[in-house]
A and B are shown apart, each in its own frame.
Chain A
């Protein structure tokens, strides 16, 4: 079952169907212009079912943000291992996130764009708390900083911010499914303040090989 089909399996999981309808509506028309009636029309569900799960539009929106943040963090932390180098961990975490966003572009838009700038402040607080965990993970690389001195306190936020700017642009232009091809850029941005250009480029090349192997797998199906 594709991620598009899942939107319409309202009987199986009505709460999830409403969340995904919320994400899709926000992506297509924005949170302000999203209505409960619109979500019900998209899912074929009744108002009683909506009210069983959510008090109002905002509650549904926040639940959608919580869902994608939980999935994103789970995807990242599943890749984390104490047996591999930290730079490699960041690479694997970014691959996991990118693949999640490619599979669920509407939820990716909700996480990366709507919750940050197009929804009520409570959504942004959710986004910020999830983002803070990723910042902490990247900031752990500062123990690798060289003789030039430690990067400033905001370096991890900025490094991920650079990657985010690319991801948001691609999602806004409907290209979430092609994010893997930008893995080298995302990885480089996250690593260069802490590992330097040479090492960041070396690990970025691993990302390039991953991106190319994925394209090979897609074409051979």
Chain B
């Protein structure tokens, strides 16, 4: 199966999950939408779950790739975080149904699926390491401060997606940026970055 057809199948599986839920979704319908025969599906995937997990992995990979564009640039770390956050929020707002699959429909299937969601949050932790260099205190910050920052953004994003308000997220970028930066920079400098981001939008 070539990449384009596989991607079409994986997308169709996620659409099925989004519209019908795990119990009611149909591999046959997804295959038909993607133009995949039963034989081709069976040659590629053992069952519904294997295909669905592959689809979720593809979705999360795309999300992380989108957020990490330019992460190697020479811009200061807070600005790289702001840019990545902007791209992530725009992506979530542009695809609210997939955002719901990402945060609720898929993780809710069973514990193994939820572990994928936990792992997704962990993928953003390395982007935060550099924030420790921006601390305004000499004392070392707590060991999990990177995940604290990721979790802070997740709480807001999850809430808006779950409430059907994903389209608001790009406008909320400055205040989400505050919450991501504040464990590293303290409230005063995080507020400066928030105001700077608000002025730029």
Chain A residues near B (Cβ < 8 Å) = 27-33, 113, 117-119, 124, 145-149, 151-155, 157-166, 168-169, 172, 182, 184-185, 188-189, 192-194, 196-198, 201, 204
Contact = CB atoms under 8 A, between A and B. Distances in A.
A169 B189 CA distance: 29
Contacts of A185: 142-145, 148
B96 interface: no
B27 to A, nearest CB: 17
A87 B29 CA distance: 55
**Chain B interface, DSSP helix/strand/loop, else mixed:** helix
Which size class do B's interface residues fall under? 35 or more
Contacts of A124: 162
Q: Which 4 A-B pairs have the closest CB atoms?
A: A161-B155, A165-B151, A148-B188, A158-B179
Contacts of B150: 162, 165
A155 B186 contact: no
Interface of B: 22-23, 103-104, 107-111, 114-115, 117-118, 121-122, 135-137, 139, 141-145, 147-156, 158-159, 162, 172, 174-176, 178-179, 182-183, 186-192, 194-195
Contact of B142 (A33, A152, A160, A204): A204
A162 B155 contact: yes
A185 B191 CA distance: 21
A184 B142 contact: yes
Contact of A158 (B110, B117, B155, B187): B155
A168 to B, nearest CB: 7
A118 B179 contact: no
B151 A192 contact: no
Contact of B153 (A158, A172, A182): A158
Given A193-B187, A201-B139, A151 B178 contact: yes
Contacts of A165: 121, 147-148, 150-152, 154-155
Given A119-B108, A148-B189, A149-B195, 7 more contacts: A29-B110, A30-B111, A32-B23, A148-B192, A155-B182, A158-B152, A188-B141
Q: Which has the most chain A C-beta neighbours within 10 Å: B108, B121, B154, B155? A: B155
11 contacts: A117-B108, A153-B175, A154-B179, A161-B156, A162-B179, A164-B151, A165-B151, A166-B151, A169-B122, A197-B135, A198-B137
